[in-house]
Structure 1
Amino acid sequence: MDHQPPPFFKRGPAPLARLFFYVTLSLVLIVIDARFHTLDLARQSLSLITDPLQRAAQMPAALLVQARAYLSSVARLQEENFRMKREQLDNAANLTRTEQLERENARLRRLLELREREHPSGVVAQILHAVRDPYTQRIVVDKGQMATVTAGQPVIDDVGVIGQVTRVFPFAAEITLLTDKDQSIPVQVVRNGLRSIAFGLGDGQLELRFMPANADINNGDLIVTSGLDGVFPRGLPVARVTHIERNASYAFPRIFCKPLAGVENYNEVMVLAVREPVAIPEELRTPRPSAGGKSGKKKRPKRG
């Protein structure tokens, strides 16, 4: 009887058969999962185990990135701190000179009894809509008599002058824009203080009229309110000169300006409070008596 030793390794199915079996099983599982979503629960369960492992594997790289960002931010902050200290030292003299000039200006104003610069106040209003009139440029805001808005108040935005209140209702007000053809405002040139009056043209532009032909005004000059009308505070930005037409056949040049404020951008505006009238000194309101007495006639000498 022939006895053979048992094989050292047990042989299973052939490799090709196992490959075919696993490929078929994979395809079946893929089709079942895509059709019935049966492996979502198993996938979620496995993610509870693999997610911490993935985070742990990514932690060294994340720590390296954070350390690099921290070191770069520290270096940048140190550089900015050094630059700011240097700028502070460079500007120390200018700051000291500015403070000194402000104190001297305040002392001179007290000595000359001049009024301090006005700080305008008012109410913020939301623009509701534009007036449906193609020949006028007006807007309507949501503040009226109930918000102490009155006709004649100036209106500004965050850049400059918008216009003026022309009609007031209990809960709304109508504002005529600077570019309206019936609107005008006294202005002056910042560069040289030259005074003029800006008129609206009705097409989004302003015009400085009645200026002499040799007026010192150039393209790009900034135009601000002069405050001579007693309505608009002095120094509010109005427009900038864009085009000048000088013609020898006309006595006055045509000076066109573009408004600085968003007269066509309907957002929020501020309606400024009415300026208080300037108090007239008592010595100017009462007439001075003449040198010859109340009647102003000289007394005749008596005859002996």
Structure 2
Amino acid sequence: MEFSNTPSFFHHGPSPVARLAISVTLSLALLVGDSQFGLMERSREGLSVALYPLQQAVNLPVSAARHVGDFFVRQAELKTENDELKNRQLALAAQIVRLQAAERDLNELKKTNQLRISRNDQGQIAEVLYTGRDPFSHKIIIDKGEDAGLSTGQPVLDEAGLIGQVTRVQPLSAEVTLVTDKHQMVPVMIQRTGVRAILYGYGGGVEVRYLPPAADIKPGDLLQTSGIDGLYPAGLPVAKVTAVERGSGASFARITSTPLGGIDHGRFVLALPVRTVPAAVQPASAPATATPPPG
């Protein structure tokens, strides 16, 4: 079948002038109807709904690229902000630790100063610098020495109780031997009963020795200085009894106790002046007897 000789549709339709007139008339009618009566409003709405997926598909690459760029920008900003917050948090944490340490030292210093004021004996407040070098001795070094008038034998205590005595004095520092040292002895008295005893250090703790098994002492008793040695003032809290063992065949009771003072912690201590022991009263000389005159 030969299609090349078949006449087209427009050869049999209206003339071009008629088609133009029809098109112009329809266009004018649509313009007038749309402007006056809104005939094409629903058509435009339907067409926009129908074309919306196509618009989204066309804009999808651009929108995706923009979102990807925004994502990486936000990630970079969040990472920078997170790093800044972490650094700030570390700085604040370090500052809080310093403030807590300063507050703790201030409270301890206040308590030590109140202790000095309450005793009214011109004690010297000192700061603990470091512990002794010898691991087998229990000693601390304080920042007061001959420049502050310290001397050997001075009792050293904190707000909780006795911690030791000054055993060596240097120009700018002093050595304090703790009550837990194995060479340290403190005359004590049981506060509840008044029984006197000797508290010995044994290199890490303290214990009461040479008390008979029948001695009136029990866990929880407070041990305080008796003052009979002429070195420690009477009434300083030293330790608290933790255990009492009375063996049936033992000659003495085994009494362990815990020091009350901050022997292994604390930063400020109070060095009390050495007690002045009054000289012994000399006995009065016998009155001279009258010599009878020679007779």
The answer, yes or no, to whether TM exceeds 0.5 is yes
**TM-score normalised by structure 2 residue count:** 0.63
Question: In the alignment, residue 51 of structure 2 is paired with which amino acid?
Answer: A
Distance change >3 Å, CA 225–CA 20, structure 1 → 2: farther
1:300 shift after superposition: 7.2
2:45 corresponds to 1:21? no
Alignment of 1:158-237 (within 5 A): 158-202=159-203, 204-237=204-237
Partner Cα distance (2:249, 2:73) in 1: 91
1:187 shift after superposition: 0.9
- Does the CA contact (< 8 Å) of 1:153 and 1:271 recur in 2? no
Partner Cα distance (1:35, 1:244) in 2: 73
* 1:66 match: none
Structure with the greater alpha carbon radius of gyration: 2
Distance change >3 Å, CA 119–CA 234, structure 1 → 2: farther
* 2:281 match: 285
Alignment of 1:85-164 (within 5 A): 118-164=119-165
Question: In the alignment, residue 176 of structure 2 is paired with which amino acid?
Answer: I
Partner Cα distance (1:200, 1:243) in 2: 16
Partner Cα distance (2:276, 2:146) in 1: 21
- Does the CA contact (< 8 Å) of 2:208 and 2:254 recur in 1? yes
* 2:111 match: none
| 28-37 or 124-133, larger mean C-alpha shift | 28-37
Distance change >3 Å, CA 16–CA 164, structure 1 → 2: farther
2:67 corresponds to 1:30? yes
- Moved segments of 4+, more than 4 Å: 297-303
* 2:271 match: 272
Partner Cα distance (1:206, 1:276) in 2: 24
Partner Cα distance (2:183, 2:209) in 1: 14
Task: State the percentage of identical aligned residues.
Answer: 37
Unaligned runs of 5+ in 2: 1-24, 78-117
| RMSD (Å), alpha carbons | 3.0
Alignment of 1:70-89 (within 5 A): none
Distance change >3 Å, CA 123–CA 20, structure 1 → 2: farther
After superposition, give the CA deviation of every residue in 1:42-99 in whole Å (9 maximum; x if it has no partner): xxxxxxxxxxxxxxxxxxxxxxxxxxxxxxxxxxxxxxxxxxxxxxxxxxxxxxxxxx
1:275 shift after superposition: 3.9
Question: In the alignment, residue 14 of structure 1 is paired with which amino acid?
Answer: S
**TM-score normalised by structure 1 residue count:** 0.61
1:225 shift after superposition: 1.4
Question: In the alignment, residue 193 of structure 1 is paired with which amino acid?
Answer: G
- Does the CA contact (< 8 Å) of 1:237 and 1:260 recur in 2? yes
- Does the CA contact (< 8 Å) of 2:126 and 2:271 recur in 1? no
Question: In the alignment, residue 32 of structure 1 is paired with which amino acid?
Answer: G
Partner Cα distance (1:163, 1:188) in 2: 17
SS at match of 2:211: coil
1:19 shift after superposition: 4.8
* 1:83 match: none
Partner Cα distance (2:193, 2:121) in 1: 25
